[in-house]
Amino acid sequence: MNRILLSSVITLSSLLVSQTPAKAQDLVKAAGRFISLLDSTQRIRALYPFDTEERYGFHYFPIDNRKGIPMDQLNTTQTAAAMYLIKTCLTEGTVKKIKEIMQLEKVLIEIEHRKPEDHFRDPGKYFLAVFGIPGDRTVWGWRLEGHHVSFNFSADNKQLVAGTPGFLGANPAIVQEGDQKGKEVLKDEKEMAFALLHKLSADELKKALADTTAPGDIVTYINRKAMIEHPSGILYSEMSSDAQQQLLRLVNLYVHRFTKLFADNMLKEIQTAGVEKLRFAWMGQMESGPGHPHYYRIQGPTLIIEYDNTQNNANHVHTVVRDLLHDYGGDLLLEHYKTSHQN
């Protein structure tokens, strides 16, 4: 291992341990309390077996038949329990972004001149579904999903083992007018990537630029298996030390959408698989702001991170984290569920 790579691996480790430890939360207790507060009708909407095909549902765009119990059908106590469950799996910063994304629905109501009786855009249309029975020795999971928010969690023996697909989006990416003018929910995801671009030399930039035209959406879309067969872009090992460090900061930004212990496990898997195998690819324009469509991707043996800002005159962002080992809990967890369920 060369000195630059060794230094970068050490830096990844330091980034991993330097995050402020999250307060320990009891995931099973949080899920159990949320379920206990639901009435019989709400439970029918919210509860599913773990091995149902519905668990693989992943729709970050508006749909009419989304499964689960919507937030606007929860009372104050139930809503507090739902938020507590969310906070057991995601950081405070991520929860804040989710709340802000929900409020962007109000901006879209104004932009699209929707009537009061039209509920296509609605901050309350974010749904929670629980799969399996939460317990200290059970395999189970839960999902939070609505327009531009989708997180799919799986747990085993009280431990969170998967949190992906994990999606956050923002429309508008930058609010242009009204009470929220200037609001940019996913600003860090944009600015840290442009900072990386600026650290690349001319030769490095040539390797990173995979296409001058950005794709119209994230490439992995809502596919059950996240697959990009022919990775493009510049390898981590081909970057300068400064660019390497900025790439790791960008990876950390996405991975630390999740609570610390789970994020640390993802980072350890990246390191074990080989940090030098990470690739950074850029497509589209290299200018920021509305009217400049652009896309980037980080891909390695264990994960794919995508950012796309092309729609609505490049003022509409989609971002996703796909764990290539553990999306939806992975095949091994499902097999473990089937085996334990039969005993």
What are the pLDDT digits (tens) for 306-317? 999 999 999 999
Question: Is a pLDDT exceeding 80 seen at residue 340?
Answer: no
The tokens for 5 are: 């790579």
CA dist., res. 104 & res. 126, Å (int)? 13
pLDDT value at residue 335: 80
* Of 256, 229, 237, nearest in space to 94 by CA: 256
pLDDT value at residue 11: 52
* Of 130, 320, 314, 310, nearest in space to 223 by CA: 320
Task: Please provide the average confidence, as pLDDT, over all residues in the chain.
Answer: 92
Name the band, by pLDDT with cuts 50, 70 and 90, for residue 336: confident
Single pTM value for the model: 0.92
- How many domains does the chain divide into? 1
Q: Please state the rounded mean pLDDT for residues 199-217.
A: 98
C-beta of residue 316 within 8 angstroms of C-beta of residue 170: yes
| 250-300 residue pLDDT tens | 999 999 999 998 999 999 999 999 999 999 999 999 999 999 999 999 999
Question: Is a pLDDT exceeding 70 seen at residue 14?
Answer: no
pLDDT value at residue 333: 84
CA dist., res. 291 & res. 282, Å (int)? 17
Name the band, by pLDDT with cuts 50, 70 and 90, for residue 4: very low
| 61-78 residue pLDDT tens | 999 899 999 999 999 999
Q: Which domain holds residue 54?
A: 3-342
Name the band, by pLDDT with cuts 50, 70 and 90, for residue 20: very low
pLDDT value at residue 77: 98
Percent of the chain at pLDDT exceeding 70: 92
DSSP state, 107?
Answer: H
Question: Is a pLDDT exceeding 50 seen at residue 182?
Answer: yes
CA dist., res. 300 & res. 146, Å (int)? 28
Question: Is a pLDDT exceeding 50 seen at residue 107?
Answer: yes
Name the band, by pLDDT with cuts 50, 70 and 90, for residue 339: confident
Beta bridge partners of 159: 156
CA dist., res. 105 & res. 223, Å (int)? 25
Name the band, by pLDDT with cuts 50, 70 and 90, for residue 5: very low
Question: Is a pLDDT exceeding 60 seen at residue 16?
Answer: no
pLDDT value at residue 12: 56
Name the band, by pLDDT with cuts 50, 70 and 90, for residue 341: low
pLDDT value at residue 342: 55
How far apart, in Å, do the first and last CA atoms of the chain sit?
47
DSSP 82-94: HHHHHHTTB-HHH
Name the band, by pLDDT with cuts 50, 70 and 90, for residue 157: confident
C-beta of residue 246 within 8 angstroms of C-beta of residue 311: no
